[in-house]
A and B are shown apart, each in its own frame.
Chain A
Amino acid sequence: MDNIHIKTPLLLETADTLKAGDHIYITGVIYTARDAAHERMYAALKNGEPLPFDPENAVIYYMGPSPARPGRVIGSAGPTTASRMDKYTPALLDAGLRGMIGKGRRNDEVKAAMIRNHAVYFAAIGGAGALLSRAIKASEVIAYDDLGTEAVRRLTVEDFPAIVVMDAKGNDLYSAEQKIEYI
């Protein structure tokens, strides 16, 4: 298995080289947002208002951490289920979003918007929040502080491990790997 190191902002040319099944390490700045933050960002886009960060070539991590102990950067920090963000995702992709980190399947609208915008969906290992927190070197709330764990955070990550699940050409590792024929 080749290990591929990529940097953010995630450029279109880099995104296009990634293939479903690739094991990658991300270094740079990524932004956290989950359900409530997505609802607000979606509303902002509809109203022509600015987002908390520049979406162009950005990577969003679907994650709400546990509180940091004193002296620590962050608490446990694993991915949440991505499909809950599907309703809002095509609009963000059309605004320039290039990458998403989460877990679980996406719907066809997201897949189409990813192909249209040359974007990539990565899976981090669900439930490995203690391990993943080690790759996070800095964390700062930049918007929606009132949402608590759901606030938008700017994270600086070093070699954050993830797997390309859906690439910019629409290949989907989840559907490729499952051969479910039960009854």
Chain B
Amino acid sequence: MCIEANHFLSPDMREALSDALKREDSPLGKQVLTELQENLKIAGEDMIPICQDTGMAVIFMEIGQEVHFEGGDLNEAINEGVRQGYTEGYLRKSVVKDPLIRENTKDNTPAVVHFMMIPGNQVNITVAPKGFGSENMSRVFMLKPAEGIEGVKNAVLTAVKDAGPNACPPMVVGVGIGGTFEKCALLAKKALTRDLNKNAGEQHIAALEKELLDRINASGIGPAGLGGLVTAMAVNIETYPTHIAGLPVAVNICCHVNRHVTRSI
């Protein structure tokens, strides 16, 4: 799954990149988007990763509560899968063991694993390798309730503006609103794995997604930050109930190589 995610984008992402090329009108922006199409083609045909930053492996494990694991440590099994995928797939090893001492683990482990319990007897595994050009431009804002929807818009647009060319636009913007400090960040990450053609379930959130996307694309940042109409391909927002005193907002920015693969067992 690590190898697949790093060489092939999901159909919705491919479609979004083709649409971006049709919509773009700046010559430089068009050229960038054309070269990104060519890059995707070469990646798939020659089995060269789409981007050299093959990411830190983020794994979402949805585990049916009827499922029982036997014969070893599940965490270690996941890391072994990442180890094999990154070694056998000629993917870059980008993980350092200690954030301050910074010695490379040389097999891209450990992964960042999020476990969620779900009803039933199924296990859904999502592998989402995350590059750090865009990860570094992501933000958490702890807003006051009085700042309301305008505060949320301002937070998202500020994060996108600051990210600019660094985050390899055209980007996908994942937003988490509500919950606690860590919950909104996780929502934002999860939002990046949602099909780009699907809007948020609630009407007011879907309207917010559309407004933010339009305003981001009016920024002029454009493909590769070199100017143009297409700065983002989608804004995906996930929400969760929150505390009477708070309005947490997380903005997780992803570059045009928004990778995720899901398998169910």
Contacts and interface: CB of A to CB of B under 8 A. Distances in A.
Contacts, number: 165
A138 to B, nearest CB: 17
Given A128-B36, A131-B39, A80 B226 contact: no
Interface stretch (B88-96, B189-197, B199-207): B88-96
A179 interface: yes
B124 interface: no
B102 A125 contact: no
Given A174-B225, A183-B150, A149 B94 contact: yes
B32 to A, nearest CB: 6
Contacts of A103: 133, 165-166, 168, 224-225
B227 A1 contact: no
A148 B104 contact: yes
Interface stretch (A4-12, A42-50, A70-78): A70-78
A22 B60 CA distance: 43
Given A129-B48, A177-B220, A177-B226, A148 B164 contact: no
Nearest to B225: A174
A1 B225 CA distance: 18
Interface stretch (B51-59, B68-76, B179-187, B236-244): B51-59
A53 B87 CA distance: 30
A78 B92 contact: no
Nearest to B92: A66
A127 B226 contact: no
Nearest to B161: A180
Interface in A75-123: 75-78, 80-81, 83, 103-105, 123
Contact of B220 (A36, A72, A147, A178): A178
A66 B165 contact: no
Nearest to A131: B39
A95 B106 CA distance: 33
A128 B43 CA distance: 9
B224 A78 contact: no
Contact of B48 (A75, A163, A165, A173): A75
B157 A127 contact: no
B122 interface: no
A80 B49 contact: no
Interface in B65-117: 90-94, 102, 104, 106
B168 A131 contact: no
Interface string A139-183: 000000001111000000000010101000000011011111011
Given A123-B226, A125-B36, A63 B52 contact: yes
A178 B221 contact: yes
24 contacts: A23-B28, A36-B102, A66-B49, A66-B90, A67-B92, A77-B52, A104-B133, A126-B168, A127-B36, A127-B51, A127-B131, A127-B256, A128-B51, A129-B39, A129-B48, A148-B93, A149-B93, A149-B104, A150-B104, A161-B35, A173-B226, A177-B222, A178-B221, A183-B154
Which 7 pairs from chain A and chain B are nearest by CB? Answer: A177-B227, A104-B166, A126-B168, A76-B52, A131-B39, A76-B49, A130-B43
